[in-house]
Amino acid sequence: MAGLFSRVKVWNEGETVNADDLNAEFNNILANVDATHSEGYSQNLSQMQSTEDPGAVGTENLTQPISETDEIKRIRFVLQRLMGTSEWYQAPSATIATLNSSISQAFFISPNRIISGAKSAVSSQPKFLEALSSGGVKLLATATPLNLFINGVLYTISTDISLTGLTAALGSSNTATLADTFSNAQYSKGVQTFNISGAGTAFTGQIGNFAAFKIVNGGNTEYFVGTVASATQLTGLRRGFCFDATNTAIAPITLTTGHTITILKMSYIFVTTAGTMAVTYNPLRYGKTNPAGAVIGDYWYDETNSTWKTYNGITWVVANATLIGFCAQDSTGATVLARSEDIYQPFRLV
């Protein structure tokens, strides 16, 4: 391998070497000591196809001295082995991108999913969304970056992001009464349904929707989620499921008949391809066809095209975002609970 640049001066026999010429030549060498001006190892076909096995872990080829040419041949060997081709520069039959797409389609893997992020210190539960008692929600990503796919493209968020100014819950007609019979010592964590009575319009306006709730027993407060099935029943209850503003799991409390249940404001949180957070307060929609009755700010997961879309008032457009979890606000605007979207990583090609 040689330098691909010319000398500044060629001295004649017997010529006196002066300082200016000598300094100029050294400066010329220093200015051209880079990859652009160094000769490669493809001057002919034999060189171009030359590779060298660097050995395996524990049986490394450490023969010295080793030249830049030897290093190039070793890198070519590894490339050739990765691609499975006869020559290191030969086009492979499939790329990482096409393999990723094929596997995703074969196993019905969503192109919008969470790969990794912050987790609970006491379990593997993802915990990268933090409720802010001052109002809003924070994405925790500085200590542990959030890696997620949006429309099949991997994005990494490596700094914390806060989303503030979230809408507060209604402050009136927002309660119902627990109508089930419970003993004072009963946590009833496994109960999936609560019968209720006296539901206000904030409850009845959410019939059929996933929602968040608050219930108080003396000095103990619990926040939980479920579905408002009717004016007299909450179903699909998930208790001990969310985290509070100190990022601590919210434990179920003991229950007795007649406790007041308050409905909260549900907020669904997305991360966009621009590295920002977005929110919708409307129930999420899923399906293969455009949902009817959409309003601005609705989000719909288009199952035909496997992508999140949002309604702009005229039509559904690609949201360039994916869901990362939800939080809920009380009537003061404080965010009292948050839950991160589950991590989904059945395979890895990145």
Determine, yes or no, domain membership for 342. no
Structure tokens at 253: 């409390």
Report which of 271, 214, 211 is spatially closest to residue 235, judged by C-alpha positions. Answer: 211
Determine, yes or no, domain membership for 336. no
Report which of 314, 255, 324, 326 is spatially closest to residue 290, judged by C-alpha positions. Answer: 314
Looking at the structure of the chain, the number of domains it has is 4
- Bridge-based pairing state of the strands 153-157 and 161-163: unpaired
User: Distance (Å, rounded) from C-alpha 204 to C-alpha 207?
Assistant: 5
Among positive and negative, which fits the CA dihedral 68, 73, 78, 82?
positive
Say if residue 230 is in the same domain as residue 257: yes
User: Cα 67–71–72 angle (5° rounding)?
Assistant: 115
Say if residue 250 is in the same domain as residue 300: no
Determine, yes or no, domain membership for 145. yes
Residue 110's contacts (CB-CB under 8 Å, 6 or more residues apart) are: 104, 149, 306, 344
User: Distance (Å, rounded) from C-alpha 199 to C-alpha 206?
Assistant: 11
With left for phi above 0 and alpha for psi between -120 and 50, is residue 177 left, alpha or beta? beta
With left for phi above 0 and alpha for psi between -120 and 50, is residue 289 left, alpha or beta? beta
User: Distance (Å, rounded) from C-alpha 272 to C-alpha 263?
Assistant: 29
Q: Which single residue is written with the structure tokens 């539960």?
A: 125
Say if residue 198 is in the same domain as residue 154: no
Determine, yes or no, domain membership for 300. yes
Determine, yes or no, domain membership for 223. yes
Determine, yes or no, domain membership for 228. yes
DSSP assignment of 250-316 equals: -------TT-EEEE-EEEEEEEETTS-EEEE-SPPEEESSPPSS--TT-EEEETTTTEEEEE-SSSE
Say if residue 272 is in the same domain as residue 319: yes
Say if residue 225 is in the same domain as residue 290: no
Domain of residue 57: give its range.
19-78
Determine, yes or no, domain membership for 339. no
CATH code, domain with 187: 2.40.30
Q: What is the pLDDT of residue 20?
A: 87
The Cβ of residue 222 has, within 10 Å, a number of other Cβ atoms equal to 22
Say if residue 259 is in the same domain as residue 295: no
Say if residue 72 is in the same domain as residue 31: yes
Mean pLDDT, consecutive 10-residue stretches, the chain (350 aa), reads 78 84 87 83 89 90 86 90 87 75 62 91 87 94 95 95 96 94 63 92 96 92 96 94 91 87 98 97 94 93 94 95 97 96 61
Give the residue from 211, 244, 263 where a domain finishes. 263
Q: What is the pLDDT of residue 347?
A: 44
User: Distance (Å, rounded) from C-alpha 46 to C-alpha 18?
Assistant: 44
Say if residue 74 is in the same domain as residue 43: yes
The overall pTM is greater than 0.95: no
Strand ranges across the sheet with 146-150: 113-116, 146-150, 153-157
Give the residue from 105, 139, 163 where a domain finishes. 163
User: Distance (Å, rounded) from C-alpha 301 to C-alpha 268?
Assistant: 13
Say if residue 259 is in the same domain as residue 275: no
Say if residue 284 is in the same domain as residue 312: yes
User: Distance (Å, rounded) from C-alpha 232 to C-alpha 199?
Assistant: 7
- Sequence-ordered alpha helix ranges (H) in the chain: 19-31, 45-48, 68-83, 96-106, 201-204
Report which of 233, 155, 166, 223 is spatially closest to residue 199, judged by C-alpha positions. Answer: 233
Say if residue 238 is in the same domain as residue 181: yes
Say if residue 190 is in the same domain as residue 237: yes
Determine, yes or no, domain membership for 87. no
- Sequence-ordered alpha helix ranges (H) in 84-225: 96-106, 201-204
